[in-house]
Amino acid sequence: MSLSSSSVQTQRKRKLSSENCDIGQKRRNPKVNLRLEIPTTTEKSLDDETDVSGADSLFDDIFDELSEVDGSSMTSVNPPSTILSKDSCSSEKLPSSLPDNPLAFRTLSSKTCKPIPGLFFDPSVLVPTEIAAEVLEFCMKTYFSGQNANVNQVMLFERASTTSDEIPSHVNSSSSGLPSQLHTLLASLSTLLLPHLPSAIHSLVFPASSASSSTTSPNLHRARQAIINLYRPGEGITPHVDLLRRFGDGIVGVSFGSGCVMEFRKVRDGEKVPESYATPSTDSKAVDITQQGPETAQEDDGACDLYLPERSVIVMSADARYRWTHGIPRRKWDYVEDLGVGWVEDSANNATDGVSNHGGLGRWLERGTRLSITFRFLLPGAEVVGPSSDDES
């Protein structure tokens, strides 16, 4: 296969048609175009991800590997002992940073839930408006309009670095694999998250830019993938764990254009895990659920729903990456208990389109079109995702 950028379109993702890949939701598979851009360095095909049956054993493999490589990453993000309840954050402005306890900022949720080890989410940590606008405009124009109007997922791959230096700004997209807008975004994320992430996690997700990471991060010489998903209102993504044998630890996701609720569910012992890239999709049951009232909040240590406002960032590592699924329910409205400091739309005016207050406990937020960019690192041997007849990518 050529090593230069190439573009492949497929109709849909193989894995998503498999019923045993679903947890909790049945999904239909709309015709979806997937665009893949692959500047790569080796030629090994990775279309071997079909066995999702022994989730536990896969987890064990991964944990063994991780502890060999960098055991510290698994322990550096323990959950805080305190949980911010709905009340504790609805009445007062949260501090803009809490470096010693980043996991406490999981407050924009439709349910109050306990911290997930390895999940960083702070609704006050937002990508600067100008950078977000530039990335969104670039992605929409480049990947999702004109003849790509029915594409909803694009994967870009960046070559593994051969030195410990960050890719310099003069290196253009054709040689690095990522467009300059995504390099700008990555640089901004690295700076933005530096005071918030434990240093081991910062090194894991920004291996080339963390001073301490140049020799220690297992991701330093791994190729990076950026997956760009576009969700029209009502669309979501089936709960899943990102491919265990393809991607390493340390995943960063950014929301653009609209917020949405992301649901996290703890994988139970012995549970079959949907392990997939997954593709945004809609569903015939995506209706206006404001007519049905908010879900009853339930105490469940293994469930956590977070509202991710536009420009917000999540970082998943350790348990959050390996032992919890994440997914986005297919619906057009999200019920959000606490708008908190991350809420940037016109919350002063309850009558604003897309924001309606039903009963004062929370708000229904109408989803707009959301674009997300998720950065992950390919595991050794996974540097190439070649187009193949049944590649699920």
Contact between 346 and 222 under an 8 Å Cβ cutoff? The reply is no
Q: Which is nearer to ligand AKG, 237 or 384 (CB)?
A: 237
Task: Compute the least distance from the CB of residue 326 to Fe ion, in Å.
Answer: 6
Q: What is the C-alpha R_g of the chain? A: 20
Q: Which is nearer to ligand AKG, 118 or 253 (CB)?
A: 253
Q: What is the DSSP string of 62-82?
A: HHHHHHHHHGGGGTTTPPPS-
Contact between 316 and 118 under an 8 Å Cβ cutoff? The reply is yes
Contact between 375 and 186 under an 8 Å Cβ cutoff? The reply is yes
**Type of residue found at 24:** G
Task: Compute the least distance from the CB of residue 350 to ligand AKG, in Å.
Answer: 27
Task: Compute the least distance from the CB of residue 231 to ligand AKG, in Å.
Answer: 7
Residues of this chain that interact with Fe ion (CB under 5 A) are: 242
218: tokens are 């297992």
Q: Which does 316 bind (CB under 5 to 8 A by kind): Fe ion, ligand AKG, none?
A: none
For ligand AKG, which residue has the nearest CB?
A: 372
| Residue matched to tokens 């330093």 | 220
Spatial separation of the C-alpha atoms in residues 287 and 280, rounded to whole Å: 16
Q: Which is nearer to ligand AKG, 16 or 213 (CB)?
A: 16
Q: What are the phi and psi torsion angles at 188 (to 5°)? A: -65, -40
Task: Compute the least distance from the CB of residue 264 to ligand AKG, in Å.
Answer: 11
Q: Which does 243 bind (CB under 5 to 8 A by kind): ligand AKG, Fe ion, none?
A: none
Residue 312: which of 254, 371, 370 has the closest Cα? 254
Spatial separation of the C-alpha atoms in residues 217 and 200, rounded to whole Å: 8
Q: Which does 372 bind (CB under 5 to 8 A by kind): ligand AKG, Fe ion, none?
A: ligand AKG
Q: Which is nearer to ligand AKG, 25 or 214 (CB)?
A: 25
Task: Compute the least distance from the CB of residue 148 to ligand AKG, in Å.
Answer: 18
CB atoms within 10 A of CB 4: 10
Q: Which does 190 bind (CB under 5 to 8 A by kind): ligand AKG, Fe ion, none?
A: none
Q: Which does 35 bind (CB under 5 to 8 A by kind): Fe ion, ligand AKG, none?
A: none
Residues of this chain that interact with ligand AKG (CB under 6 A) are: 227, 229, 237, 242, 253, 277-278, 326, 372, 374
Q: Which does 375 bind (CB under 5 to 8 A by kind): ligand AKG, Fe ion, none?
A: none
